[in-house]
Each structure stands twice: as C-alpha cells, then as structure tokens.
Structure 1
Amino acid sequence: MGFLRDYRAARRDEAELGLGVWRRAHDRFRRGLDRFHQILETMPDKAFAQAVVPTANALADLLPEVRAVCAEAQRTAPSTSTDIPASAGGYLNDVHRELSRAGNAMAQAAEALTMARFVRDDEAHRLEIVARRAEAVRDHVRRARELLERG
C-alpha cells in the first residue's frame, strides 16, 4: 500500500509542481524542514527540545505556503528545466530567489538547532538563535508570496 501512496504523491507533485525550478525549490525547502525535525527529535536536552517545538511547528506550517507559491508559479510559468521562465520585469527570478533563500534559511535554522545542542549558554539565548533563523525563513516565504501576487 505504501508504494501506491508514494506513487500517487509523486504524480500529484509532478502535476502541481512540474519537474523544473519550482519543484526543486519546493523539495529543497521540504528537505530542510525534514532535517530540522530530525535534529529536534534527537536533541539530548529534552527540555530545550520541548521549548523549540512551537518554532518547529511554525516552520512546518510554512510548507503548504511554499507549495502553494511553487504551484502557482508553475501554473503561471511552467518550468521543465533548470532555467527560470522569463517574466515581465524578471519578477519570477525574484520569486525563485526568495524561495531559494527560504530553503537556505531553513537549512541554516537546522544548523542553528544543531549548534544549540553543543552550546551551553542559557536556554533563552539558544532559543533566540533558532527563532531568529526561523524568522528569516518566514520572511523569505512571505516575500516570495508577495512577489508572485504582484507579478
């Protein structure tokens, strides 16, 4: 049953996101989010991990937003290659740049969480570092949405 479910999900992703730059932007974000949660699950300091859960949930809530932006971009300008489709004023380049930055920021948030595991500062400082990285992710996703809507 798992194979069939995976096959259907892959077909749905291909239909909604295509196989080009929008799909890759979405998948990169999702991989970063998965990594963040994997790190969180293996945190030895369970009290700290519990304190990070709201941030992790907020980041997870961004995945449908990223998917919606990528799906809308694919509907607007289908991509089947590594080239960003042309657009008036290059706004799709800006949308893709923000999605790419969101993926990078997600990876940096996971890295900050990893580093928090080894830093022995007070918990509030460690939480602030992770939250700051998560805020950067939210900002990039928001900007991608705004750019796509304005385009």
Structure 2
Amino acid sequence: MGILDNVLRGRRDDADLGKGLWRRAHDRFQRGLDRYHQVLEGVEDDSLYAELVVMADALSALLPRVRAVCVKCQRLAPSDDFDVPGEFADVHRALSKAGNALATTAEAAAMLSLAVGPVPVGALSVQRRAATVLEQVELSERLAGIAAAR
C-alpha cells in the first residue's frame, strides 16, 4: 500500500468515522486485530498455529461489522471529541469491551505461544476470549440497530 493509498484511506475514514469517539473505537479494534496477527508470526508449533489462524480469520471478519456500527453511530451522533453521547453510551461501552477483549485475546495467544511442551487444553483460553469479542460486537450491533449480516 502506497502513501497515496494511506492518504485516501485516512480521508475516507475521516468522512465515515469522524475524528472522535467512533474513530477511536474502530481504531482500537483494528490495533487489537493487528496485534493478534503479530503474535501469529511468532508461533512455531504448527498445530497451535493452525488453531490460532482459524480464530484470526473469525476475528478479522468482525472488523467490517465494527466499522458498520461506528459509521452508523457517527452518522446519527457525530463525534469529533471524546464525549460519549448519552443515547449511544451502551453502544460505545460494547465497542470498548470488544476492543479490550480483542487485546486480551492477543495477549492469551502470545502467552500460549510461549508455552514449553504440549499444551493440554490447546487454545481454549484464546477461544474463550475470542468468544467475548464476538459477543460484544453482536451486542453493539443490536444496540445500534444493525442486523448482523452473516
């Protein structure tokens, strides 16, 4: 991706997400996703890697859904600062929890990749945290009135 692509994407993000609250929620989720993918680069066990990649794909599929929620909220309650509009506080809370859960999912994957020897429960801890991410994204969609496209 070139410099021009980055500039154009930034302008599109500014138009769609604003520069405040909803942009920050989207970007936090994106950073968590990036971190999860960085963790994958360090996984040496092939079976664990395969398990974590399946979760990476599922988590990546959530980004457009998070973006759709943020775009809709920006359209209905524009934000160029970081004050949470009262009627959208629950949506913002769910998005924040999704971003935080994604960060802890990446952390769990990193800890799992550092385990020495076979891991008896596999990536169960990562799966539980990834399930929380999905739950919070689905909640944000319901609260924002967006039907989940599956």
TM-score of the aligned structures, taking structure 1 as reference length? 0.91
Aligned sequence identity (%): 47
What displacement does 1:61 show? Answer: 0.2
What is the identity, as a one-letter code, of the residue corresponding to 1:5?
Answer: D
Question: In structure 2, which of residues 121, 126, 129 is the aligned counterpart of residue 130 of structure 1?
Answer: 126
Q: In structure 2, what is the Cα distance between the partners aligned to 1:121 and 1:84?
A: 46
What is the identity, as a one-letter code, of the residue corresponding to 2:30?
Answer: R
Q: Which residue of 1 aligns with 2:99?
A: 103
Q: Deviations over 1:66-111 (max 9, x none)?
A: 0000000000100000101243xxxx00000000000000000000
What displacement does 1:126 show? Answer: 3.0
Distance 1:65 1:120, change over 3 A: same
What displacement does 1:121 show? Answer: 6.9
Question: In structure 2, which of residues 117, 142, 147 is the aligned counterpart of residue 146 of structure 1?
Answer: 142
Q: Kindly tell me the number of residue pairs found equivalent between the two proteins.
A: 146
What displacement does 1:124 show? Answer: 5.7
Matches within 5 A, 1:2-151: 2-87=2-87, 92-120=88-116, 122-123=118-119, 125-149=121-145
What is the identity, as a one-letter code, of the residue corresponding to 1:139?
Answer: E
What displacement does 1:143 show? Answer: 0.3
Q: In structure 1, what is the Cα distance between the partners aligned to 2:66 and 2:40?
A: 21
What displacement does 1:30 show? Answer: 0.2
Q: In structure 2, what is the Cα distance between the partners aligned to 1:82 and 1:44?
A: 41
Counterpart of 1:133 in 2: which secondary structure?
Answer: helix
What is the identity, as a one-letter code, of the residue corresponding to 1:18?
Answer: G
What displacement does 1:47 show? Answer: 2.5
Counterpart of 2:121 in 1: which secondary structure?
Answer: helix
TM-score of the aligned structures, taking structure 2 as reference length? 0.92
Counterpart of 1:44 in 2: which secondary structure?
Answer: coil
Q: Deviations over 1:37-59 (max 9, x none)?
A: 11012212232111211111000
Q: Deviations over 1:2-37 (max 9, x none)?
A: 111100000000000000100000000000000001
What displacement does 1:127 show? Answer: 1.2
The structure with the greater share of residues assigned to helix is 1
What displacement does 1:123 show? Answer: 4.1
Distance 1:138 1:5, change over 3 A: same
Structure 2: 5+ residue runs without aligned partners?
none
